[in-house]
Chains A and B, each alone.
Chain A
Amino acid sequence: MPARVLPSVLAAVCGGGILWQATDGAQAFTSEAARRLEVAMSPRPVPQVQLEDMAGAAVELRPQQGEVVLVEFIYTVCGDICQIAAADFAEVRDRLRARGVPARLISISFDPARDTPEQMAVYGDAHQADGGMWTVARPLPRDLPKLLELFDVTVIPDEWGGFQHNAAIHVINGAGRFEAVFDTDAVGTVLAHLQKAPS
């Protein structure tokens, strides 16, 4: 009898193990959940990347002297999610400023061909991103695929000439590592994360 049951038990255990592995222990069923878990477990080093901001000036993506950098990916003519996300980003900015947390916020355009500095300035004006604590910037076209891959951002064209993408707030800690991803409206969680980690 045990010899008859053994193959079934083995198959069940192997199958269960594979599915457990494939979902990171029943924690991540979607690729978005998987990337958040993966980043939190092993933060990724962010390379030196120069961005061009609304004034046409060069901006470093990596944090300078112990600040944290919060990154959102956007395109300026976005009609829905980016607008709401920008309002949330403004709230994060205000609350970080009120608490004196050294941080920079960057909205990175993944559509650098259309988003010229002038166009980014229009977007910045609409959301009170004045280029101080929060700026809008674009990468060089050749840096864009590298950035999207580093942050695991998938951008796909939609039916109306725009894009859909996994919108989120990405945290680069003081050591220059991309260490966390949050929903754009999880303002409280982002603040709690930044105050917990003395980076």
Chain B
Amino acid sequence: MRMPCLALLALVEAIALREAAVASPVQHVLLQMPLLVLAGMVAAWSLTGRRAWAVPLLLTALTAFLFWMLPRNVDWALSPAGELAKYLSLPLLLGVPLRLSWPWLGPVLRGFLKANALSMLGVLGFLYIHAPVRLCNSYLVSAQQDLGFAFLYLGAALACLWAAPLLFGDLRRVLPPPPGRIGCGA
């Protein structure tokens, strides 16, 4: 019962950020959208997907991810139809499939996806900071540059987070396992 409540909370928070999403692309792309994805992931937390479905589910999640990475869809997400599509597709077509497929992915594929995420954040950050034109018509040039820097900071933070286990060993193996079920995240 705890997970559906958490998912609901994340969803409510994402909806509560409507005004913030209009105000700034950083709040829209790096706060509201990830919260919607989180809502889907948390909702599916205790479900286990079948191994055979791991790759199709991952491809579904990647499609949804790339779709919402397009600047024109960030604009579209501010219109009523786009908003509805955002609220439905980010949890259901990105959060849930990602959560269901992740435990089945091998370490090489996980590393590949993480490395791609990092390079993508770097490229996007560079693009948003240096683009000579506005990529999203709904936002100011200065906000676009803020988003570019936010992408770079996020990329740096994720790189540190993901590199830590490689450098210092997996902390979960050192710490005593928590009582009950052990999560199978990254």
Q: Which residues of A contact B (CB under 8 A)?
A: 4, 7-8, 10-12, 14-15, 18-19, 22-23, 28-34, 154, 156, 158-159, 164, 166
Contacts and interface: CB of A to CB of B under 8 A. Distances in A.
A4 B52 contact: yes
Chain B residues touching A, majority SS: helix
B166 interface: no
B72 A158 contact: no
Given A14-B63, A164-B134, 16 more contacts: A4-B52, A8-B56, A11-B56, A19-B63, A19-B67, A22-B72, A22-B73, A23-B72, A29-B71, A30-B136, A32-B133, A32-B137, A33-B72, A154-B138, A158-B140, A159-B140
6 contacts: A7-B52, A11-B63, A29-B71, A30-B133, A31-B72, A154-B137
Interface of B: 52-53, 55-57, 59-60, 62-63, 66-67, 70-73, 75-76, 133-142
A192 B12 CA distance: 53
Contacts of A28: 72
A10 B57 CA distance: 11
B46 to A, nearest CB: 23
A15 B70 CA distance: 14
Contacts of B62: 15
Contacts of A32: 133-134, 137
Contact of B72 (A8, A18, A29): A29
Nearest to A14: B63
A1 B134 CA distance: 48
B67 to A, nearest CB: 6
Contact of A8 (B59, B73, B137): B59
Nearest to B58: A11
B102 to A, nearest CB: 16
A31 B71 contact: yes
B67 A22 contact: yes
A31 B133 CA distance: 12
A12 B66 CA distance: 13
A48 to B, nearest CB: 27
A176 B136 CA distance: 29
A155 to B, nearest CB: 9
A106 to B, nearest CB: 21
Contacts of B59: 8, 11-12, 15
B66 A19 contact: yes
**In the A-B complex, the 9 residue pairs with the closest CB atoms:** A15-B63, A11-B56, A11-B59, A154-B137, A31-B75, A7-B56, A31-B72, A8-B55, A30-B71
B56 to A, nearest CB: 4
Contacts of B139: 156
A166 B71 contact: no
Contact of A11 (B55, B72, B73): B55
B140 A164 contact: yes
Contacts of A19: 63, 66-67
Given A7-B53, A10-B56, A164 B75 contact: no
B92 to A, nearest CB: 15
A164 B139 CA distance: 8
A164 B135 CA distance: 13
A18 B67 CA distance: 8
A22 B70 contact: yes
A71 B154 CA distance: 41
A34 B71 CA distance: 11
A166 B142 CA distance: 15
Contacts of A10: 56
Interface centre among B59, B71, B75, B141 (most CB of A within 10 A): B59
